[in-house]
Amino acid sequence: MRILCCLAGMLSMTMTAAAIAGDDVVEHVVLGIHGGLGYDKKDVTPEYLKLVRDGLEAALKAGVAKLNDGGNSLDAVEAAIRVMEDDPVFNAGKGAVFTHEGRNELDASIMEGKTKKAGAVAGVTIIKNPISAARSVMEKSKHVMFTGRGAEVFATQQGLEIVDPAYFWTETRWKAIQKIWEQEKAGKQSAIPAKNSQYFGTVGAVALDKQGNLAAGTSTGGMTNKQYGRVGDSPIIGAGTYADNESAAISCTGHGEFFIRYAVSHEIAAQMKYKKVSLKDAADDVINRQLREAGGEGGCVALARDGKFATAFNSEGLYRACVTKDGKITIRLYEE
């Protein structure tokens, strides 16, 4: 009996260790980003993965250039995310997925950690770079979030670039929604699978500037085949995005309904701030325990006020990258 108990304990420890996915903490990071959970590894090609790596590297370089030129953490976050919004490889901006109605609807949010000012837009269809619109909401309005037509009118008034909705059309995303429509007509699919990373996609960034101020931002094309009017976690402060100079900046990606219900980004920051839990342990607890137990798939990148960078994900992969203050770039896609 004693031997069996020991074996059970060893098995439990092994399972617990295997359940936690993420990288070792990286020190002295000034900018961290993610490009979403990505497709299941069996469904991707080396050529596609190269495009992802190139896109992440380009985003990092754009963000760091802002910091090196004297910009603040908000500048770095916005610049990095804009690059990914312009890259059709990612589910944000140009690469947005299609809704059930065959539309591209985009969401984004941004937050800075010193005063906790924040801005967001949701359900927009003509704003080329939603992350810039989110920042304009934060800096040029008395509100935190604008949605739909109101957000588009505001962005136009602020002089942001407006495009025809057709700009967001890409063949890859169009084929994906057509396949789902065919399955629905055949009665093989009536809803989005509860756990399937090919349906989720987001980009995000977290930054720490020379003044010690943190910032976080997230942008997405939403969930493939989402119903009319659906809004996920990406534009919701405390769910997909959060920044607090007393703890960390966090950007999330995954099944948004779970991230909203569990207030994931705020929960990570709160554990650090009030329970004095480390960045890594807080991210692992929320992503790899709370969400996993609830059946929610996703991940996050997080940057603490001391420059420590951590990731956590309970999916097969998380497209993530970071750069340290001495310029060292690290890019990882799956468990590597």
Q: How confident is the model at residue 43 (pLDDT cuts 50, 70, 90)?
A: confident
Amino acid identity, residue 86? D
- Top CATH class, 23-334: alpha beta
Where are the domains positioned within the chain?
A: 23-334
Q: How confident is the model at residue 190 (pLDDT cuts 50, 70, 90)?
A: low
How high is the pLDDT of residue 11? Answer: 33
Catalytic residue among 99, 202, 241, 311: 202
Q: How confident is the model at residue 186 (pLDDT cuts 50, 70, 90)?
A: confident
How high is the pLDDT of residue 336? Answer: 62
Adjacent-strand bridge partners of 147:
122
Q: What is the pLDDT of residues 7-35, one digit of tens each?
A: 334 333 333 333 456 788 999 999 999 99
The model's pTM is 0.92
Q: How confident is the model at residue 198 (pLDDT cuts 50, 70, 90)?
A: low
Is 220 a known active-site residue?
Answer: no
